[in-house]
Amino acid sequence: MRLIHAVAAGALALTSLPAAAEELVYGSWVPAADWLTAKALPEYFARVEKDAPGEVTWTWIAGGQLAGGRETPTAIQDGVMDAGLVIPTYVPNLLPSLAIMYGIAIEGNDPVAAAGASMEVMLLRCPSCLAEARAINQIPLAGHAGAPYVLMCREPVRSVADLKGRRIRASGAALDMLNMAGAATVSASLVEAVSLLQRGGLDCVAGVGEWLRTFG
């Protein structure tokens, strides 16, 4: 049985409020080859344009060209872009309720169900989540399911005791659990984390295995 982040399973997109009926820009800090940028966004935006012909068109810019993961909410607020990919634990001062949700882990093997449940809570049952986003003139737009997190390490980890003192990049629920195990958790961006892992600056990364390809 694996642990699935309730909201880490679904990264959050925020969009500015209100959005004019014009060409809108989505800034993604993940690489162009990532599934979100290469597959999900084109499909989503095509459906939006089909449902609102001539009213809304989207352009997406990948690879952090407009803003990084931590800077995205501010970039949206400043009008650098109209929407972007937000990880709530990167900006807990701006989105504390969502950051708390992001730190919840549930037992199970179905990340799609976990992501769907967390989106329902966020959009329909969490007034403070919406209020915090509106306070920075933004609204939650959507989320998506990701694979369960695993430990990716330079050396084998055979027991919980092996985690003690290891430098591990983690976020959300994974960070809390690894701290309990005595690991030295590090809050680095995904781009920094994979590079640090390759160079020996980190012992492990807690996350999705696909990251080694898209961020490596």
pLDDT at residue 131, as a whole number: 94
Which domain does 162 fall in, by range?
A: 150-214
Query: 204 and 127: one domain?
Result: no
Report the distance separating Cα 98 and Cα 180, nearest Å.
Answer: 22
Domain boundary among 103, 125, 145: 145
| Domain count of the fold of the chain | 2
Q: Rounded to two decimals, what is the model's pTM? A: 0.79
Inform me whether the pLDDT recorded for 8 exceeds 80: no
Residue with token string 């009926």: 21
pLDDT at residue 5, as a whole number: 33
Residues 6+ apart with CB under 8 A from 77: 16, 136, 137, 138
pLDDT at residue 4, as a whole number: 35
Query: 176 and 201: one domain?
Result: yes
